[in-house]
Structure 1
Amino acid sequence: MALNRLCQRILVATLSIACLLIIALALATRLFSKSLMLLMDRINFIPKESSIFSFSPYKINQGSSSYWLYGEDGENYYYFTYEPAAPYKHISKANNCPSFDQRDISTWCSATNGAAK
């Protein structure tokens, strides 16, 4: 009887620690904040060429909605265009645009339209 109680306590302690570790990991990574961003504001989306694991917004709208204006992943930069047919543009990080500025769409000489959501 005492052995069963000891096993139950060990199991509860182990599960509690595992849950705490999972919560800490979720809060410490970008995945949690990106998921929250997608859930809270329906304008937000991850570009088709990227993923929730690699996409990182670096300029956010400061108005009543907090959608991304500019973002990046390992290979591309992205700009949100507000146009339903092509909601974003993207350009390779290895582009050859003269005077390229990742925060100024007017300097993106070879940007490609992204697919509709």
Structure 2
Amino acid sequence: MSDAIGYPAQFRVDDDKVRRYLLDPKHEDGGAKCAFLLSVGFTLDDPVTLMTALIEHPTPQTLVRAYAVLHGLRYHFEGPMRCPGGISAQVRTVWQIDARPGLHPARFITLKPLRKTRVGF
């Protein structure tokens, strides 16, 4: 990670991004992610639990890449994500701080499953 890129002070997950992308089995890009998330215990009718897990995922220890993009700064985090029922799913989450005046939280962009592990927290 480049020392010139700082660590985000806050993270934000939009409700619409979860409901209409990650938890939509018919979404062109999110459908496979939805199937994965359902397989590790998340449900279509409880987006708040998934949103909480996503917000808890990024830590300084799981940050694997930070870089500038055309419209801001992008961050990749890899490691376990807490799932319902004590399952830990290995995922990459991608976040972005948009380049605009003022301070803004890193917003959730996407999730990629890496592998599933049955380990309790």
So what's the TM-score if we normalise by structure 1?
0.30
Which protein is richer in helix relative to its size?
A: 1
Which protein is richer in strand relative to its size?
A: 2
**Higher Cα Rg: structure 1 or 2?**
1
